[in-house]
Each structure stands twice: as structure tokens, then as C-alpha cells.
Chain A
Amino acid sequence: MAVAQQTARPEGRSSSSFWTVARRDSLAGFLFIAPQLIGITLFVLIPLCLVFWYSLHEWNVLANTFTYTGATNYQMLLEDTNLPSVLGATAIFSAGLVIFNLSLALLLAVLLNQKLAGITIFRTLFFSPVVVSLVAWTIVWGFLLQKNGGINGVLLVFGIEGPNWLREPVTAMISVIVVQVFKNVGLNMILFLAALQGVPNELYEAARIDGAPRFKQFRRITLPLISPTILLTSIITIVGSLQVFAQIAVLTQGGPGLTTTVLVYYLYQQAFQFHLFGYGSTLSIVLFAIVAVLTFAQWQMRKRIVFYES
């Protein structure tokens, strides 16, 4: 021990007066976040400003001109006769998707939370579409939903003549919603399942002793306790529904007419098919505004929906 004491420890860098612990930590912090921060600046913040800038210009790609036109693009937005139906389609698609997705996810989670042998096999199978390549999944469904495809074939076995699913307005919208829900409902299902398993069993036992029937247990105990998860999944699902593009592009190309042309698809057409970059940017601003308003509204609502937060 005496030896250890005699070997003088070399003074650490730390003893220099400038590089205090706090200063070194600040430097480390900035170095750690630097890649992300630079990336966000380059690929999110600057583009966001540019989108706004572009939306004030008319951009002719062929003539290679870029002229300031002020609010003209926003004028065009108001006069765009397609826009009401695009926004309508977006609203129907998002609302339908969220409602169907969350209720199916909750139903599956409740079923999978039962004491049944082999339940993990079901869990795996319900989750499997999440890992199937999105476009592959969409192509199969497109194939199944053809006039003479698998679904109508099965219906015909029972003597029912099915519609041309993807070519009629109502069924086309239903189809794109359903295809998307079956693809991704597994994610929400797993999150709900984890939340359900987080509800202490004693609460159910107490409720049973209090004589509450099963349905009441679900409504009065389960739902309030998993409400934070419901809020979170609904935000994720709504924002996700506004980004759905591949499914529409592969299944219906926005048709028939404009019935399944959601905002993202319309934006893509205007910017990259008709090369209206200025107007496309204006539509991007609209998309951004919708997402921002929805997220803000849901966040505000959390005080009213979420009964319990850990």
C-alpha cells in the first residue's frame, strides 16, 4: 500500500482549469448530437424553408425559369377544382384507416391476451405482414382484387358476383384502406398487447370480487389504463396514414377519377409528373399544416382522453 501511495499519479487533463467537467460534457454532448443535428439541418430544416420559398415561385423546368410570383400558387390552391376532392379523399382515407386499424388492433390484442395454448403462433402470424415487403404485399392484393382475381373467385364459388374492386369509387377506397390496415395493424396490435399485459392482474381480481362483469372490466379498467398507448398509436397511425403513397400508386393510381387521390399522391403527380415544382411545394405546405394541426390537437386532447399516465 505504501508503494501505491508513493507512485505519484500523473495529473489528469482534467486538472487544467479551462476543461472543467461541465465544459468537457458540453463538448461531448455537441459531438454526440452533431451528426443528427447537421443531418436535420440539411435534410429537414433547410428543405422546409425551401419548400416555403418555392411555393412563392413559378418554376418552369423546361424553360429553366424560376420567377417570383408571390401568392399566386396559393391563389391557384384556392381555385384548384381538384383540391376539394383530394382533401376529401385524404380525410376519408385517414379516418377510415385510423378507425379500422385501431379497433382491429385492440380486438386482436385482447384476443391474444387470453390464456390459450399456442397463442404466440397466432401472434407471429398476425404480425407477419409487417415484415413482408410493402410493394410485394400491395401487388398480391392488387392481384387478388382484380375483376377475375382470387377474392371474386371465392365469392363466385358461393354464387356471389363480386365488383371490380379497384375500378369502382367506393370499393376502391375501401380496398386501399383495408390493404393498408392488414399490412400494418400488427404493429399497433403488439403495442396494445404490451399495454394490456402492463395492467396489473390484481385490478381484474379486485373487479371480479366487486362483481363487475367482463365488459365493464374492459371499459372501466382496461381502457383507461391503456389510454396513453391508444393516444400514442392514434397519433402515429394518423401521421402515417397521411404518408401512404406506394399502395395508392400500385393499386389504383389515384383512380377511379380522383376518388383515391390522397394529398401525397396528388403532390407527387403535380411535382414529378407535371413538373409543377412551385405548386407541388404549395401542396407540401398544406400537408405539413395538416400534420401539425392534427398532432397539436391530439396532444391537447391527451388531458381529456388519457385518464392515467405513469
Chain B
Amino acid sequence: MKAELSPRMQVFLYGLLCVLLVPFVFPTWWMVTSSVKPISDIFAFPPQLVPESYDWTTYSKVFELQPFVKQYWNSAYIAALVTVGTMVVSSMAGYAFARIRFPFANTIFMVVLLGLLIPSEVTIVPLFQMFLKAGMVNTHWPLILVPIFGAPSVFATFVMRQFFIALPAELEEAARVDGLGRFKIFRKIALPLARPALASVAIFTFLHSWNLYLEPIVFLSSADKFTLPQALTQYTDAYGGPMWNIQLAAATLTALPVLIVFIIAQKQFVEGLAHTGLKG
């Protein structure tokens, strides 16, 4: 497929790519620009691709109507904890499944893989009851514990296992001859070499936690406990209709930081994901 392309073909391809790009890029542009338009302009006809006048008060209203800083912090610290926790749990389990011979390893791995098969929605009812009994409803514990130890981390374990399987066994044997025990081999040899796999696990896990929606609305009930996705939908008027410009301002504040980090580190993001062992 990598044949040289004629100039006409190149122009055609660029054109096609630009057209295809519209639904991917335009919504983000529309979100940012509409968030600074006065309410009277956001449904204006013809649509204003660039705002004609600016109203920055939407952003102050984001913080007035809800404890938005608190909610931002909730999302950020939960995602950070879940990311770090998942990296620890999944790298250890993935290493053991790939590298250590222990009784029932294959059976246990199959049981763990069941977590990939069971959408967390299936178990949401009993999980709610369990956390209710434990007095953890309307706390962040369910949003932290379940992703780190439960089904969502199984995918990460799988990715780490695929990586460790490909790691040459000789390296570990050399380390054994050099005098390292299991834990030191893991910490000093396997883990430092697993950095690319860990990075993609971190990205996946962070995005998953950052986007979680069903779980927060099931488990959390007070505004100062809310996470961002849940908070965004709460900017409604007295009739339950969305206050569009404020929602969009809050959405912009939620989306932009991650987007900027992504654009800076896009190479690591994209290539990390491509090499998660997902290739089969």
C-alpha cells in the first residue's frame, strides 16, 4: 500500500481526510467557542463559527452554581489513585501469570479473565447493596476500590501479562544468577523494562476513571461528592432543561486539560496504545 502517490491522488486524499475530520474536530471547537458566547448568541442563525461577542460570566457561574472546584478535585484524585493502584495490582498479577509457575495458575487466570467478560453493569446492583451494607454509599470508596481490584483492572492485567510474556526469559535467569530473588527481579528488571506497557495501562485507566458515569450516579448523592461527568449534567434550570452555555463552559474546563496533555504527548499515547499487546 505504500506505493508513491501521484500529486492528484495526494490532493484527493488530503481533501478526503479534511472532510472526514469535521465530526472529530468541530464538536470540540464548537464547545469551546459556544462556552464564551452570550446566551442570546449560542443558537443564533446563521451559526457563528467564531464568536461575535464574548461573555465570560458563564465561567464564573460554573463555580457559583456547584462546588465545581471540589468536584474537579474529586475526579482528579480518584482517577490518580485508581491509575496508580491499577498499575501496582495489574503489573504484579500480570507478571505472576506470565512468569511464575505456581499451582492452578491457568485456572486462576481463566477466573480472572471472567472479569473481562462481565460488564460492570451486570454487577452494579449487588455492588450497590454490598457498599450500602458497608456504609460506603455516597463515599468515593466504590469508585476507587472496584476499578483497582475488580473487573476494570483485569484488562490492565491482561496487557501487562502480554508484555511480560514477550520479555526474554534469559534476562530473568541472568538476574537469578546475579543473585536476585523473585521480588527484586520484578522490581529491578521486569518493571523498569515494562515502562511502555505501564504507560498505556496508565492512560487507559485514567481515561476510564475520568469518564466513569453510571457508577457515580448510582453511588453518589450529594453535590460535593460528585465527580465531573456527573456534575456536568447538573447545570440545569428550574425546569430541568440544560443551561447550555454553562454546561459547555464546564465541559470545556473538563475536557481541555486532558486534550492539551494528549496533544503534547500524543506520540506516547498513540504508540503506547498500539503496542499494548492488543494486536493479538
Residues of A at under 8 Å CB distance from B? 22, 24-26, 28-30, 32-33, 35-40, 42-48, 50-51, 54, 107-108, 110-111, 113-116, 120, 122-137, 139-144, 146, 148-150, 153-154, 156-157, 178, 182, 186-187, 190-191, 193-196, 198-199, 201, 204, 208, 214, 217-218, 222, 228-229, 232, 239, 242-243, 245-246, 249-250, 264, 267-268, 271-272, 277, 280-281, 284-285, 287-288, 291-292, 295, 309-310
The answer to whether B5 and A116 touch across the interface, beta carbons within 8 angstroms, is yes
Tell me which residues across on chain A come within 8 A of B21, comparing CB atoms. Answer: 122, 125-126
Contact indicator B275/A194 (Cβ below 8 Å) = yes
Quick check: B45 and A156 within 8 Å, CB to CB? yes
| B69 touches A (CB below 8 Å) | no
CB distance from A25 to the nearest CB of B (A): 5
Question: Chain B: interface residue count, which band?
Answer: 35 or more
- Residue pair A111, B17 in contact (C-beta under 8 Å): yes
Q: Give the residues in chain B near A130, CB-CB below 8 Å.
A: 207
| B244 interface hit (Cβ, 8 Å) | yes
Contact mask for chain B residues 247-279; partner A; CB cutoff 8 A; 1 contact, 0 none: 110011011001101110011011001110011
Query: Which of B46, B125, B127 has the most chain A CB within a 10 Å cutoff?
Result: B125
Partner of A127, one of B217, B266, B278: B266
Of the candidates A129, A135, A150, A217, the one having the most CB atoms from chain B within 10 angstroms of its own CB is A135
Q: Say how far B49's CB is from chain A's closest CB, in angstroms.
A: 9
Docked-complex contact B129 and A277, CB < 8 angstroms: yes
Shortest Cβ distance from residue B140 to the other chain A in the assembled complex, whole angstroms: 15
Instruction: Mark each residue of chain B from 1 to 42: 1 if its CB lies under 8 Å from any CB of chain A, else 0.
Output: 111110000100110110011011101101100100000001
Contacts of A153 in B (CB 8 A): 43, 45-47
Instruction: Report the minimum CB–CB distance from A284 to chain B (whole Å).
Output: 5
The CA-CA distance from A120 to B266 in the complex, in Å, is 9
Interchain CB contact under 8 A, A140 and B1: no
**Which partner residue on chain A sits nearest B102 by CB separation?**
A29
Beta-carbon nearest neighbor of A268 in chain B: B214
Q: Which of B20, B24, B126, B232 interacts with A136 by CB under 8 Å?
A: B232
Q: How far is the CB of B160 from the nearest CB of chain A, in Å? A: 10
Contact of B266 among A36, A40, A124 (CB under 8 A): A124
Which B residues are closer than 8 A to A by beta carbons? 1-5, 10, 13-14, 16-17, 20-21, 23-25, 27-28, 30-31, 34, 42-43, 45-47, 88-90, 92-93, 95-97, 100-103, 105, 108, 111-112, 114-115, 117-130, 145-146, 148-151, 153-154, 157, 181-183, 186, 207, 210-211, 213-214, 217-218, 228-230, 232-233, 242, 244, 247-248, 251-252, 254-255, 258-259, 261-263, 266-267, 269-270, 273-275, 278-280
Do residues B278 and A39 form an inter-chain contact, with CB atoms below 8 A? no
* Additional 10 contacts, C-beta under 8 A, given A36-B93, A36-B153: A35-B89, A40-B111, A44-B115, A48-B122, A50-B126, A143-B34, A182-B27, A198-B279, A217-B1, A285-B122
- Are A201 and B183 also in contact (CB < 8 A) when A54-B125, A267-B121 are? no
A69 to chain B, nearest CB (A): 16
A44 CA / B116 CA spacing, docked (Å): 10
Q: Is the CB of A245 within 8 A of B1?
A: no
A37 touches B112 (CB 8 A): yes
Which A residues are in CB contact (< 8 Å) with B119?
Answer: 239, 242-243, 264, 287-288, 291
Q: Is the CB of A157 within 8 A of B122?
A: no
* Contact for A35 among B115, B149, B151, B274, CB less than 8 A: B149
26 contacts between A and B (CB under 8 A): A25-B182, A32-B93, A35-B89, A36-B89, A36-B154, A38-B149, A43-B123, A44-B150, A48-B118, A116-B13, A120-B267, A125-B24, A127-B270, A130-B207, A131-B262, A133-B258, A135-B254, A137-B255, A198-B279, A201-B2, A249-B213, A268-B214, A271-B125, A272-B128, A272-B218, A277-B129
